[in-house]
């Protein structure tokens, strides 16, 4: 695959960049008891630190090396140096996302003896499936993982709308993470109280040195956020045109009028999201191509979508399949962004 150049001179203000593309290359799933079984349901799952329980597991830290084909580009967004990676298929994207996450896990487990991971709901969980397959299921030190949710619907944990249930079925039930290291919301509370409780949990984890705090912003600093994006450009439960996108003080807030059901949710705010050491945006499907183009193409609109407001202190990587990236081109240079 030959290297090609792409100059996007008119990105939206938060995403202005010059992009250069260069090529790169990359058993059955193990499932435990369902969430509703007594042995799982009795485990402490709430974020409130009074409910926490810790256990320690040891795993083999050896790592096999893989590679994946992709097109890559670099750009600068506000505070962040970002990469845009485009893959021929969602399968290749999932393989690359697993390696990206496993490499960060190894790095932070060595540096901090902990790895704080934030996930979203939606298609992101499916794209994490390669982490529960060899070599990563055996090589990652899962005992040092601490998993959080960037947003959650205020519903019972066994409700079909629960992001926790989605993550449990697709990911958490297949890895040997200590039960006390998955920080679900307290679903017995109201949306407002659940948000306050989750923020209190984060403050406790900062005091206990599990979670870092940003010296730059004073907000929690997670090691990585693995996020998806809605077809309207929303991230977490931060929707276009909603006042919560401008929240500057709270770490975790609540929403009772979500444009997407269910209406009651809690969500991290942008100051927390953008204090992260790393953020990966995993976006697949032609249904999101228009928003990807608006975010990374030559759209001159001054109204930023929430996804365009993602600008972490550390590194930002866009993982796109070719369908999501299908409208990213530069007609002036006649140079396609993908392939």
What pLDDT, on a 0 to 100 scale, did the predictor assign at position 72? Answer: 60
Residue 97, helix vs strand vs coil? helix
Distance CA 251, CA 202 (A): 9
pLDDT digit string (tens) for 149-207?
999 999 999 999 999 999 999 999 999 999 899 999 999 999 999 999 999 999 999 99
Distance CA 148, CA 244 (A): 20
Distance CA 142, CA 156 (A): 26
What is residue 308's DSSP assignment? G
Would you give per-residue pLDDT tens digits along the chain (339 residues)?
Answer: 332 323 333 333 333 333 333 332 222 222 232 333 333 333 334 564 433 333 322 333 333 333 345 666 554 444 456 799 999 999 999 999 999 999 999 999 999 999 999 999 999 999 999 999 999 999 999 999 999 999 999 999 999 999 999 999 999 999 999 989 999 999 999 999 999 999 999 999 999 999 999 999 999 999 999 999 999 999 999 999 999 999 999 999 999 999 999 999 999 999 999 999 999 999 999 999 999 999 997 766 678 999 999 999 999 999 999 999 999 974 333 333 433
Give 99's contacts (C-beta < 8 A, 6+ positions apart): 26, 66, 68
Q: Choose among 14, 18, 12: nearest CA to 311.
A: 14
What pLDDT, on a 0 to 100 scale, did the predictor assign at position 71? Answer: 62
What pLDDT, on a 0 to 100 scale, did the predictor assign at position 300? Answer: 65
Please identify which residue in the block is written with the tokens 């990213």. Answer: 328
Residues β-bridged to residue 227: 281
């Amino acid at each position: 695959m030959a290297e090609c150049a792409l100059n996007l001179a008119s990105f939206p203000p938060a995403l202005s960049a010059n992009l250069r593309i260069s090529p790169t290359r990359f058993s059955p799933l193990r499932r435990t008891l369902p969430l509703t079984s007594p042995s799982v349901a009795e485990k402490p799952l709430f974020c409130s630190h009074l409910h926490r329980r810790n256990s320690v597991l040891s795993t083999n830290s050896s790592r096999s090396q893989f590679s994946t084909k992709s097109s890559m580009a670099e750009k600068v967004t506000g505070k962040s140096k970002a990469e845009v990676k485009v893959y021929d298929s969602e399968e290749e994207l999932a393989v690359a996302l697993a390696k990206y996450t496993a490499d960060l896990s190894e790095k932070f487990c060595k540096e901090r003896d902990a790895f704080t991971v934030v996930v979203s709901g939606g298609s992101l969980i499916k794209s994490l499936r390669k982490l529960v397959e060899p070599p990563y299921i055996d090589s990652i030190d899962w005992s040092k993982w601490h998993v959080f949710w960037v947003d959650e619907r205020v519903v019972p944990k066994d409700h079909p709308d629960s992001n926790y249930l989605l993550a449990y079925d697709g990911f958490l039930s297949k890895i040997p993470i200590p039960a006390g290291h998955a920080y679900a919301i307290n679903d017995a509370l109201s949306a407002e109280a659940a948000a306050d409780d989750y923020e209190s949990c984060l403050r406790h984890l900062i005091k206990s040195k599990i979670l870092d705090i940003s010296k730059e912003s004073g907000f929690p600093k997670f090691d990585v956020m693995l996020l998806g994006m809605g077809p309207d450009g929303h991230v977490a439960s931060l929707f276009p045109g909603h006042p919560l996108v401008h929240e500057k003080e709270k770490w975790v807030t609540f929403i009772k009028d979500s444009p997407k059901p269910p209406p009651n949710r809690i969500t991290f705010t942008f100051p927390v999201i953008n204090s992260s050491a790393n953020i990966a945006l995993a976006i697949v499907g032609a249904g999101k191509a228009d928003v990807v183009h608006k975010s990374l193409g030559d759209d001159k609109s001054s109204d930023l979508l929430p996804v365009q407001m993602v600008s972490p202190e550390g590194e930002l990587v866009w993982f796109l399949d070719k369908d999501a990236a299908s409208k990213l081109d530069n007609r002036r240079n006649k140079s396609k962004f993908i392939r």
